[in-house]
Amino acid sequence: MTEEFDILAFDASQLSVNNPVEAPKSGGNANIYRPRPADSKSEDGIYRAQIKVIYNPFDLRRSVLEQQSYAMQDEHGWFTVVSSLTVNDTNCPVFKAWKTCHYSKDPVLQNQAKKVDDGGNGLFDKRYARYVTIQVLEDNNRPELNGKYMFWKMPKAVWDVINAKQSPTNPAKAAIPVMDFLFGRAIDLEVKPGPGKPGDERYSRETSYAAELTDEPVSCVNPDMSPLLNASQQAVLEQYITDMKKVWKEKDPAIRATLKAEVDSNDNTKELRSFYRTVVEKIKTFCPDLIEELGYHEWSDDVKARVQKWIDIVLSGNNPAAVAPTAVASVGNGESTTTGQPTPESVPDPMSTDDDDLPF
C-alpha cells in the first residue's frame, strides 16, 4: 500500500482486463460459486440469487481474471492446468505442443490438434473463463452461502451488463462503480436451465443467464451479514452517495467533472477516505485471493512431469488416455506404430467440479 494512492481515484478503466499485464519473469475449488438450475428450490426451476461482484481487495487492477487452462486426459484420468497464456506468456508447453501439431505437415499430428467437429482428435482442450470475486447476499437455494465471499466464473452476458455500466461508451452516461465494496451495485441473478431435466445434456449446456443491477448502491457486509461500518461511518458513506448521485446523473461530461472535483475535495469525502482503507483490510481477512487461488503459478515438478508425458504421447501420434507412457511409439511418415486411438465413451467434464489497493 502507498499513502499517496487516492482512495477515490480508482475507476474501471484501470482493470487489467482492459490493460493486460506483462508476463512474469519467471479440480474443484470450494470457493467457486456455482448457481446451477439443478440446485434450484423454485417451482419453475430457475436459480435466483442476489450477489455482489466486487473488486479483488488484494489487487484492484486484477479484479477480473481471464484464465486460460487446458483440460487433458491420460491413463490416470482428467487433470487441468492453468496456462501461462493467462498472463500473456506464450511459453506454455501445451500451447507449444499445439502449435507443433497445428502447423505440422504430418496429417497424424494435424489431427491431434484438429477439433473433433472438424474430424480430428481434439486433444487440445483449451478453456477460457472469466473469474471475479463476489459476495453472496441472498441465495435461498443454498442459504449457507449467504454472506460468503467467493469466486464466480462470470458469464459473458453478465459481464456485458456490468461493463456497460462501469465503462459506458456514451459520454452522456457517467461511469457507475458497480464493483465498489461500499457504493457499488448488487446483481439480481437468474439462471435458467435449457430444455429437458437435470442430467440431460441440453439442460446444462443451454443454461442462460439474466442479470439486473440494483438501482441503489449496496454495500458489502461481514460474512455474518452484519454491517461493515459503524453508525457514524455509515452516515459519512450515505452523504457521499447523496453527493455522488448528482455526478452519476449528470449528462454533460464537463459539468460532471466539475461536480466530481467538488465531491472529491469536500470534508465528508476526506472522512470517507480516512476509514475506507481499514474497511478493505478487514475484507481481506475473510475474502479469498482471486489471483493466488485461480491465477497462473509455475507448475510443480509433478505437474510438469505429467504434462510432459502427455505431450510426448500426443506428439507420438497417440491418445494419452489410451496409451501408457511405456507403450509410446514414434511417428514417421504420417503413421503411428500403434493402432487406434480409443476415447472413453463418457468422461466427466473436468471444469464442472468447476500496491494500489483502494477502490475509489
Instruction: Indicate the domain borders of the chain.
Output: 31-223+286-332
Distances (CA, A) of 298 to 129, 212, 292, 304: 19, 38, 12, 9
Could you tell me the three cell numbers for 152? Answer: 464466480
Domain 31-223+286-332, second-level architecture: Alpha-Beta Complex (3.90)
Task: Quick: pLDDT tens for 256-294.
Answer: 999 999 999 999 999 999 999 999 999 999 999 999 999
Specify the residue for cell string 446483481.
187
Give the pLDDT of residue 358.
40
Give the pLDDT of residue 29.
87
240-244 contacts at long range (C-beta below 8 A, 24 or more positions apart):
240/183, 240/268, 240/269, 240/272, 241/183, 241/217, 243/268, 243/269, 244/183
Could you tell me the three cell numbers for 56? Answer: 479483488
Give the pLDDT of residue 23.
35
Give the pLDDT of residue 16.
60
Specify the residue for cell string 437455494.
141
Task: Quick: pLDDT tens for 194-208.
Answer: 998 888 889 988 999
92-95 contacts at long range (C-beta below 8 A, 24 or more positions apart):
93/304, 93/307, 93/308, 93/311, 94/70, 94/124, 94/307, 94/311
Give this prediction's pTM.
0.81
Interior/surface letters 121-160, b for 16+ CB within 10 angstroms, e for the rest: bebbbebebbbbbbbbbebebbeebbbbbbbbbbbeebbe
Q: Mind listing the pLDDT tens digit of every residue in the chain (360 residues)?
A: 444 446 566 666 667 665 544 333 334 789 999 999 999 999 999 999 999 999 999 999 999 999 999 999 999 999 999 999 999 999 999 999 999 999 999 999 999 999 999 999 999 999 999 999 999 999 999 999 999 999 999 999 999 999 999 999 999 999 999 999 999 999 999 999 999 888 888 998 899 999 999 999 999 999 999 999 999 999 999 999 999 999 999 999 999 999 999 999 999 999 999 999 999 999 999 999 999 999 999 999 999 999 999 999 999 999 999 875 444 433 433 333 333 333 333 333 433 433 333 444
Which has the closest alpha carbon to 51: 159, 155, 186, 250?
186
